Structure 1
Amino acid sequence: MSAASGGEATPAGTLGDVAEASNGSLNSADLVKALGFRLHHVGVATQKLDATAKLLEGLFGYRTIAGPFADPIQRVSVSFLTMSDEDRVEVELVEPLAEDSPVRSILQKGGGTAYHLCLETADLEGALAHAKGLGCMLVSPPAPAVAFGGRRIAWMYTPTRQLIELVETAAPTS
């Protein structure tokens, strides 16, 4: 599985599921299941993609499976790494592309660090509505991402200040 391919599709939740939940016909566990959440990757801010990828290869046996992708909308360049085909969660190395990249401020505060979790969801709008209902704050609305073949991503902060990226599940291939 790679970031670009999107892996396997999960059962699709719909905005109708969220509407039903707001009327009380779905409990929270059923709503979360309908949204099809799956941990996709851990994002790591870095000054240099190549140097960090080589370090992780030497230390732990990671290999680049997708990228680098320059994304002018997000103002970053990213690569995805994994140790083996059996890995369920990838590491995304994120390098700032411009002075105004949001990743640059993260790096200025303390060097390379894991700073976000990315969850894939079958229903991006439904997931955002669910998160808003639990007190999450939208940081960046849905927008296409180069690293995901144009699939949309959105960013939010949880009430406890964790940065979460949501990416819509890839359409099934026939």
Structure 2
Amino acid sequence: MKIDHTGYLVRDMEKALAQFEALGYTRDTDIIEDSATRNVALCFLHNGAVRIELVSPLHNGRPSVVDATLQRQGDGPYHICYQLEQPMEDALADLRRQGWLVVTPPEEAVAFGGRRVSFLFRLGVGLIELVEADDETV
């Protein structure tokens, strides 16, 4: 697996974009709204070979999957995403055998054009995201 990006949890997307752009990051995407499943706003940026994803709850009065984490830990690094080089089911089976807990089963992600993602957790490491490889990397 190779690292695809590091996710940063932020309360205010516009403020965070301005802060990361001041650090030399360039936007790879517009702000993507995933209101159907996660109720979050996402934006991908890069600085050289480093790619990040800003993740913020949509402020629309509905709960977001990141509300509790944002309240508990505040703004900051949230997860590391790994792009798979094997089928999702095989990777999940391998990681479960290594003691990882599947937090969210594989589901299509708006931010990845429908490719599936899954989140896993392990004490001592934290939260990771797996994303299926796109056709260009398989």
**Fold-level similarity (TM above 0.5):** yes
Question: Is 1:111 matched with 2:93?
Answer: no
Aligned residues: 133
- 1:124-143 CA-partner distances (Å, limit 9, x unpaired): 11110000000111110100
Q: CA deviation at 1:80?
A: 0.5
Name which of 100, 107, 112 aligns with 1:148.
112
CA offsets, 1:5-49, max 9 Å, x none? xxxxxxxxxxxxxxxxxxxxxxxxxxxxxxxx1101111010121
**Cα distance between partner residues in 2 of 1:120 and 1:67:** 21
SS at match of 1:172: coil
1:79 correspondence with 2:40:
no
For the residues of structure 1 that align with 2:42 and 2:81, how far apart are their CA atoms? 13
Kindly state the Cα deviation for residue 161 of structure 1 after the two structures are TM-superposed: 5.5
TM-score, normalising length: structure 2: 0.88
Q: 1:63 to 1:108 in 2, by over 3 A?
A: same
What does residue 50 of structure 1 align with? Answer: 14
Counterpart CA distance in 2 for 1:159 and 1:104 is: 21
3-state secondary structure, aligned to 1:109: helix
Please provide the CA RMSD for this pair: 1.6
TM-score by length of 1: 0.71
Q: Is the 8 A contact 1:46 1:111 kept in 2?
A: yes
The share of aligned pairs that are identical, in percent, is 35
Residue number in structure 2 paired with 1:167: 131
Tell whether the 8 Å contact from 1:53 to 1:63 is kept in structure 2 after alignment: no
Q: Where does structure 1 lack aligned partners over 5 or more consecutive residues?
A: 1-36
Structure 1 segment 59-74 matched on structure 2, within 5 A:
60-71=23-34, 72-74=36-38
The code of the aligned residue for 1:74 comes to R
Aligned match of 2:4: 40
